[in-house]
Chains A and B, each alone.
Chain A
Amino acid sequence: MANHSLEHDHSHSDTTDVFGFWIYILSDCILFATLFAVFAVLRNNFFGKPDIIKFTDISYVLIETMVLLTSSFTFGLSIISLYKNKLRSVINWLIVTFLLGAVFVGMEVSEFINLYHEGFGWQANAAMSSFFTLVGTHGLHVSIGLIWMLAVIYQLSKFGLNDAMKRRMTYLGLFWAFLDIIWIFVFTIVYLMGIL
């Protein structure tokens, strides 16, 4: 009896907690909207340098996009295993998601290093400044998500699939999907519209 009422309290706080995290995600969207607005205004301020983004290798960005999109999918597979209470499967798909995310970050860092060495670092002009801030902030979010993912993988192997872990997977899932949504706008606005 006492246990049952405890669970009711839990369920109310669960809805509120997820809702709270959702509000955080939306506030993060506004942050990105600001960076997009700045990028839109400054993207053509080249200060004499050529428009390097126009010459981006489109296949490279497509691969990055597919990698991140697939990682969202594999996270979904992890969630399915969560509902089936298959711990090993949850962890395995999380590891796959992590690897895909790591590939994405690696590709992005590689691109950044390349740009920097070719003289198009964030100090080159306002366009690159806003580019690095926008794309870099997204990459930073992904990197932090990866660290979080490692923490969840560790906790899952330690605590198994209890209520707390299922909540955490929910939050991480929201975060990871949101990052892919932001990326949709990054590749469309920064790269595709920049290459046109």
Chain B
Amino acid sequence: MTTNTHSLPSGTDWPKKSLRHYVIGYLLCVAMTFISFGLVKYTPFNKSIIYLALAFFAVIQMIFQAVYFLGLKSNRDGRWNVLPFIFTIVIITFLVGGSLWIMHDLNVLTMGMYMSSN
């Protein structure tokens, strides 16, 4: 009969995650979610600061979810996963950043005076 070590997909090098690991990840993400929602609901600061804070917490929570729920790490096997992840971030930066930049410029050029909403 197969032993425990052999019954895991042996190439993936996934250490056994403890309950503590998932609970910590979960609580961290819950906290960040509440912070983000709280920032919007109770707006003491001006909008630009809140936008930045929201973006910041979104990225941080993404990293926490990737680490705690996805198991993203930079060790032997994990390193293979991190590289395409970074590449994807680069592609997305060009794609989204570029689109926003182009559309903003088009707005400016076609409307003379840039109007941000109706």
Q: Which residues of A contact B (CB under 8 A)?
A: 7, 10-16, 18-19, 22-23, 26-27, 29-30, 33-34, 36-38, 40-41, 44-48, 51, 58, 61-62, 65-66, 69-70, 72-73, 75-77, 79-80, 83, 85, 161-163, 166-167, 170, 173-174, 177-178, 180-181, 184-185, 187-189, 192-193, 195-196
Q: How far is the CB of B100 from chain A (nearest CB, A)?
A: 6
Query: Within the complex, what minimum Cβ distance (angstroms) separates A152 from chain B?
Result: 15
Cα–Cα distance between A34 and B55 once the two chains are bound (Å): 18
Measuring CB to CB, which residues of chain B are less than 8 angstroms from any residue of chain A?
4, 6-14, 16-19, 22-23, 25-26, 29-30, 33, 36-37, 39-41, 43, 47, 50-51, 54-55, 57-58, 61-62, 65-66, 68-70, 77, 80-81, 84-85, 87-88, 91-92, 95-96, 99-100, 103, 116-118
Given A11-B11, A33-B96, A76-B69, does the pair A192, B30 have CB atoms closer than 8 Å?
A: no
Partner of A7 from the list B10, B29, B70 (CB cut-off 8 Å) is B10
Which of B37, B47, B91 sits near A58, CB closer than 8 Å? B37
Q: Which of B25, B68, B87, B88 has the largest count of A CB atoms less than 10 A from its CB? A: B88
Main secondary structure of the interface of B (DSSP, over half): helix
Question: How far apart are A195's CB and chain B's nearest CB, in angstroms?
Answer: 6
**What would be 7 A-B contacts, judged by CB atoms less than 8 Å apart?**
A30-B88, A44-B118, A58-B37, A77-B19, A79-B17, A80-B17, A177-B65
- In angstroms, Cα B95 to Cα A12, docked, is 34
